[in-house]
């Protein structure tokens, strides 16, 4: 049987409930699998405020802010350098190399302000907290040793929160669409392979045979 677009949508309308149920089954299966296979992560974070160098104290406020924003990027580069991360590795007392700590570290400016955020994502909340604490402790000295008159202030003390990885939600959504796609494909295949004549319209539509008459169904 050849199907056109109207037949396809007719199949969807007739079987929409089963298709949705199959999608939900796929969603649930993907969600359960992701939860079992993916452990939640612990994110330790702190906020650092950039002080302007002393020579910039007479600059107007707007230029001060722009200078601070530029310094944010400079300071982030310093704190992501291998030399600084080696200091963090030695200070935190954990068996991580500088490159391993760098792979778990994320830094970025906060909404275009002169504040930047330091985040460490790990399986262990204690280790994540230790690394961020070491960064907080060592950052001021590391920055002032590179940037003349450069300094920072810690806005927030290190805090740790547990987060579910985004892959769980993403995989669940993919599971839903895979479930609906497979069920839709099965129903379409069933219709394509079904050569039974179900109505007078089937004879005219699929076999181009004119209908001269029909025998009505009579209930006894």
Q: What is the pLDDT along the chain (220 residues), one digit of tens a residue?
A: 556 677 778 878 888 899 999 999 999 999 888 877 777 788 999 998 887 655 444 444 666 667 777 888 889 999 999 999 999 999 998 999 999 999 999 998 887 778 899 999 988 889 999 999 999 999 989 988 888 777 788 887 778 876 665 577 888 999 999 999 999 999 888 877 766 666 666 666 666 666 666 666 666 5
Q: Which residues contact 7 (CB under 8 A, 6 or more apart)?
A: 191
Q: φ, ψ for residue 108 (rounded to 5)?
A: -170, 155
- Domains of the chain, start order: 5-37+167-207 (no CATH), 41-163 (3.30.1890.10)
Rounded Cα–Cα distance for residues 187 and 184 (Å): 5
What pTM did the predictor assign? 0.58
pLDDT for 70: 80
Rounded Cα–Cα distance for residues 57 and 72 (Å): 17
């Amino acid at each position: 049987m050849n199907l056109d677009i109207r037949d396809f949508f007719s199949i969807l309308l007739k079987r929409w409930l089963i298709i949705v149920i199959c999608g939900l089954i796929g969603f649930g299966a993907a969600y359960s699998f992701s939860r079992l296979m993916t452990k939640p992560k612990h994110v330790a974070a702190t906020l650092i405020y950039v002080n302007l160098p002393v020579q910039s104290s007479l600059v107007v406020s707007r230029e001060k802010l722009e200078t601070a924003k530029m310094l944010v990027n400079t300071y982030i580069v310093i704190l992501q350098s291998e030399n600084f991360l080696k200091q963090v590795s030695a200070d935190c007392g954990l068996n991580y190399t500088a490159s391993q700590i760098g792979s778990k570290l994320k830094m970025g400016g906060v909404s275009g302000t002169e504040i930047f955020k330091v985040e460490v994502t790990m399986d262990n909340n204690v280790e994540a907290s230790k690394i961020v604490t070491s960064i907080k402790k060592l950052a001021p000295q590391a920055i002032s040793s590179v940037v003349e008159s450069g300094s920072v202030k810690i806005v927030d003390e290190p805090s740790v929160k547990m987060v579910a990885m985004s892959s769980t939600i993403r995989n669940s959504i993919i599971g839903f669409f895979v479930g609906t796609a497979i069920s839709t494909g099965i129903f379409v295949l069933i219709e394509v392979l079904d050569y039974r004549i179900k109505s007078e319209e089937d004879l005219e539509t699929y076999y181009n045979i004119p209908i001269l008459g029909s025998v009505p169904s009579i209930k006894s």
